[in-house]
Structure 1
Amino acid sequence: MGVGKSAENVIQDQEILTSKYGPGIGAVEAKPSEEEIALEKKLLRKIDLLIMPLIVVIYLMNFIDRNNYAAARLQGLEDDLNLTSERYQAGLGIFFVGYILGSVPSNQVLNYTGRPSLYLGLTTIAWGLVSALTALVQSYGGILGCRLALGFVEAPFFPGVLFYLSKWYTKAELSMRMSLFYIGSLIAGALGSLIAAGILHGLAGRHGLPGWRWLYIIEGVITVVLGFLVILVLPEFPHTWKGLSPELRRVANRRMAIEAAEADIDEGERMSQVKGFILAMKDIRVHVLAFAFMCKSAAGGFSFFFPTLTSTLGYSNTVSLLLCAPPYAFVALWSIGHSWASDRLRKRFWFLIYPMPVVIIGWIIFMTTDSFGPRYLSLFLMLMIFSINGTFFAWIATSIPRPPAKRAAAYAYINAVGGSASIWTPFTYRDEDKPHYRPALGLNIALWVVTAACFVFMYFSLTRENKRLDRLEDEDVPLSHEDFERLQKTAEIEGVDIATARSLQKTHRYVI
């Protein structure tokens, strides 16, 4: 009958289970004890207070270092480097060429090494150094080289952290934490413009350096320091972090096994990374999520021109930078409430859908009005596109529950495909389309609608999967040999019997 067991052998396995653990295997509920609940709360406090503040601050600097190019444009970068509009846009887009090249292999390396503190810390130091050295460039070729290198060394951080968080938090906790993580970028949008305005006002010309060079130096040095802090402080994965007591490590592993319905540890060693990538490429949902992220990223590309958009309101460069801060601050606060509600209600789809008409209204207002009030209001509405990010990335994590090698490859692939949109979107914001940028914003509306269609596909796909899981939960359905082996692995990792291991499967459903 080929490789594997025959139907008769599978039935024998089932009979062995029944004789050993009694009829109705799976009847034992995996209910945590009061002690385990207390330990889980202690674990959450520990990782919340240690992990979340650190990665939020690092991502804040990641976003500032990536986007200070737009702020530097208002501080003399174009004139000093003799950049035309097309050259400036090429410098913006080439960042994402390096970003894509560095994305996919990075998470595979991270999952293989099992040392996120060292890996993410070193890449943070690398992009801080590249950012600081950008202050030395003197030509168009120099800025292209620095932007390409910056994209490559920044690539591991974002998908790496998404994968990293999915190893620590359950699906009921992810949206809020991922929103808090992503809020670093929204705070960076506000804080970065304020820093740029302060440097333009206070340091421009100091020691003969223009403001944009000081911008790169100061922010690059801060990032290098934070990179060393990541190496020293960031904990590893739950099953490898020595800072956890045996009791907390057991709770951390158990809750993630319950979450994934199986042990959240790869089956193999070296080959598991290749296998994980192949598994990710075979999953249609991975490709749909990647396409949705690409369309969303393209539609959100206006953020790289945000200081340019505020400059169309008719104020000086310094005031234009200051005007960037309130819309970002508003959306940052909104995102916290948005993600809290999504976690509390355990809903994802509708929280991804409701901001869509709001954002479209913002684009339409900007394209059709000239007065300050409506146009400035439109900037607030446009930025609502970023309120869904925490929910979206949490949906990715819970839609690809295991194995870790597959999830790592999927995150990196989705991030790389999404980043590809930013290679060409800068060229849609042409100087001749000022001040309304109608072609670019009209394209954004179309892309936003396609993103919604991808979310609808995911809604029906995951609903169908949950119905399948409902059928498998029926205890009258016999276990296949593959199911039996997976239960054995989960039971070994968790230190429980097979009956309890099967009862863990009952708790898993895709969050929709």
Structure 2
Amino acid sequence: MAVSDEKTTMTTTLEAAATSRDIKGGSFSPAASTVEHAEGGTAKDTAKWVENGLVEREARFMATVSEKESSRIYRKVDLRVIPMLTALYLIAHLDRANLGNAKLEGLEKDLGMVGNDYNIAVSVFFIPYILFELPSNMVLARFKRPSLYLSILVTGWGVSVLGSGFTDSFAGLCVCRCLVGVFEAGFLPAAFWLISQWYPPYRAQSRTGIFYFAAATSGAFSGLLAAAIAQMDGLAGKEGWRWIFIIEGCLSVLLGLGAYFLLPDTPALSTSWLAPEEIRYLELVFRATRGRNAATGTGQEKPKKKVNWKALRAMLTDKNLYLQSMIAAGSSLPNNGMKYTLPQIVKNMGYTSTKAQLLSVPPFMAAGLMTIVSSFWVDKRRSKKLPLILLCQCMLLVGFSVLFALAPHIKDHIAVCYTFVVIACMGIYPIVPAASTWCINNLAGPEKRVASIGFFTTLANLGGFLGSWVFLNTESPAYPTGFGTCLSFAAVGIICSLTVEWTYKRHNKKWRAFRQLEEMGDRSPLFKYIL
């Protein structure tokens, strides 16, 4: 008897047997199940899951779970995963951006900073932040419980920020900012990885958008919080800018300790709040949507102790990964440039420091709203990523073009410049959730995925490093280098987005041709006879 592949047949048989043992062993009990089952599902639903790589018995189980019940399960996951990630990402950006707020409250004068010292203090954060992202994610892969690793990172950068409030020299400030970069380096790639472990591709962008909403609103909270904390100037003999670091550092330490207890790890390690059938459903969705090889990353296996050089080579030779990173860099450069400079840009319009802090809130709030609405819209309609990315990149082009032209005389064009600051900010923030999920959704295999996420964020944050240098104090208020560089990166991002879309379409055309060959049965040139 001829079969298409002996290895595939053996694997399918073993998986079916393992699934059968799970059912007979009592891990699945229809009578006690908390998952709502239809009567055996439909043949069409079963075939859909088989086509996605599940064996027949697994596919029949998946077909019995209604769309309503699936949404209920993911709402449970949302309440556990998203709020904690959002809070951690919010405090990460607060701790990253508070240097700009401290600058307005006299940081430079008190520490004797001159010339480009401020830009140096900003950039020393990004050097370790970029260098440690990929190694950090490889360390994460060795932890059975990611919550422990994330707790260490958050607590570590909280202590470092706290130290910034007690330093008496520019060198001490740079050391503290460098340590903040070391610990923050692992958070974003770890958060992306955690999202990919819990959610299928068609649910990932809205969730990424929610916690990335924190990145946008952190600019708003940073201004409000700094304006309030600065009123503590002189309390206990400390300047207002020191209290900004001290209070925000303490918040980070508290959240870091809480992450260990509150942040869930994987479905397999969440038996205290997920029923066995819910865990099984989430793991099978993960396997069907992220690729069969990804099923080994469910948290049931022991952490890997050796580096997979084949996965690293696949990552380094993936051309699309570089293009996707450039799309994200087109957002991270203006993101970091504006985050550290926006209070000063508003102050250049003629406002006092306190009013400048408060007027930096609306652009970031508008950006946060744009991020949330666009991310949910894309997931709900299961739309392509390209239209949203192009829209945002065009907003960047228009916004920075106007600012490039009018900023030299910003006091004469306050309303116009402030309006296009808002438009530019609204274009910056939705790009990263769209670009990151577009990238992660197209990475197969757990080891390549975990390494590629770190590599993707490393390359993307090179733009953030440049963003810390393009807005120079000596060029205020025109900032031609800053606005011009942001404009250029937006244009390059558009080219990269169109190239990625074309590359994926060309590959999918070849994929459809191979699928047609598979459907030819034993007449297909891909069929293997047993001799």
After TM superposition, the score normalised by the length of structure 2 is 0.83
Shift of 1:276: 2.9
2: CA distance, partners of 1:12 / 1:219? 59
Matched, 1:181 2:211: yes
The answer to which of 390-399 and 299-308 deviates more is 299-308
Match for residue 429 of structure 1?
471
Distance (Å, rounded) in 2 between the aligned partners of 1:459 and 1:339: 19
* Structure 2 counterpart of 1:446, from 485, 488, 508: 488
1:305 aligns with 2:348: no
Offset of residue 463 of structure 1: 1.1
Which whole-Å CA distance do the structure 2 matches of 1:42 and 1:339 have between them?
20
CA contact (8 A) 1:266 1:405 kept: no
Counterpart for residue 362 of structure 2? 326
Q: Is the 1:353–1:452 Cα contact (8 Å) retained in structure 2? A: yes
What root-mean-square deviation, in Å, do the aligned CA atoms of Structure 1 and Structure 2 show?
2.6
After superposition, the Cα gap between the structure-2 partners of 1:319 and 1:16, relative to the gap in structure 1 and judged at 3 Å, is closer
- The Cα offsets for residues 99-118 of structure 1, whole Å up to 9 and x where unpaired, read as 02221111112122131110
Choose which of 312, 316, 321 in structure 2 pairs with 1:277: 312
Unaligned 5+ segments in structure 1 are 1-7, 485-512
Shift of 1:380: 0.2
**Are the counterparts in 2 of residues 112 and 273 from structure 1 also a CA contact under 8 Å?**
no
Structure 2 partner of 1:347 = 384
Partners of 2:83 and 2:191 in 1: how far apart? 13
TM superposition shift of 1:340: 1.5
Instruction: Please give the alpha-carbon distance, in whole angstroms, between the structure 2 residues aligned to 1:77 and 1:9.
Output: 77
- Which is worse superposed, 428-437 or 249-258? 428-437
The amino acid of 2:482's aligned partner reads A
Whether 2:97 is the aligned partner of 1:89: answer: no
Matched with 2:171 is 141
Structure 1 residues 276 and 12: alpha-carbon distance in aligned structure 2, compared to 1, 3 A threshold: closer
- Structure 2 residue runs without a partner (length 5+): 17-44, 50-58
Between 1 and 2, higher relative CO (CA 8 Å, sep ≥ 6) is seen in 1
> Does residue 1:128 correspond to 2:158, yes or no?
yes
Cα distance change, pair 13–80 in 1 and its aligned pair in 2 (3 A): same
Offset, 1:361: 1.7
What amino acid sits opposite 2:391 in the alignment?
Y
State the secondary structure of the residue aligned to 1:137. coil
Question: How far apart, CA to CA, are the structure 2 residues paired with 1:368 and 1:212?
Answer: 33
Match of residue 87 from structure 2: 57
Give runs of aligned pairs for residues 354-503 of structure 1, distance below 5 A. Answer: 354-369=391-406, 370=410, 371-383=413-425, 384-400=427-443, 402-474=444-516, 475-476=518-519
Mapping for residues 32-51 of structure 1, pairs under 5 Å: 32-35=62-65, 37=67, 39-51=69-81
Give the corresponding residue for 2:353: 317
Deviation at 1:291, TM superposition (A): 2.9
Contact 2:101 / 2:226 at 8 angstroms: preserved in 1?
yes
* Fraction of identical pairs, as percent: 24
Superposed CA deviations along residues 370-407 of structure 1, whole A, max 9, x for unmatched, are 3211111011011022122221221111121x212111
Paired residue for 1:223?
252
- Residues 121, 228 of structure 1: 8 Å contact kept: yes
The whole-number CA distance in structure 2 between the counterparts of 1:292 and 1:10 is 45
Give how far 1:263 is off: 4.2
**Equivalent residue pairs, number:** 467
Counterpart of 1:296 in 2: which secondary structure?
helix
**Letter of the 1:212 counterpart:** W
Q: Tell me, what secondary structure is at the counterpart of 1:337? A: helix
Q: Retained in 1: the 8 A contact 2:331–2:432?
A: no
What's the counterpart of residue 28 of structure 2? none
Q: CA 1:64/1:351 → structure 2, altered by over 3 Å: closer, same or farther?
A: same
State the match for 1:13 in structure 2.
6
Q: Is the 8 A contact 1:111 1:404 kept in 2?
A: no
Residue by residue, what CA displacement relative to the aligned partner does 1:40-98 show, whole Å, maximum 9, x if unpaired? 33320111011111110111000000110011000110001111131110010110111
Q: Name which of 102, 110, 115 aligns with 1:80.
A: 110
Q: Supply the AA of the counterpart residue of 2:519.
A: D
Q: One-letter code of the match for 1:288?
A: L
Counterpart selection for 1:171 from 194, 198, 201? 201
**Residue 38 of structure 1: CA displacement?**
5.2
* Greater shift in the superposed pair: 315-324 or 93-102: 93-102
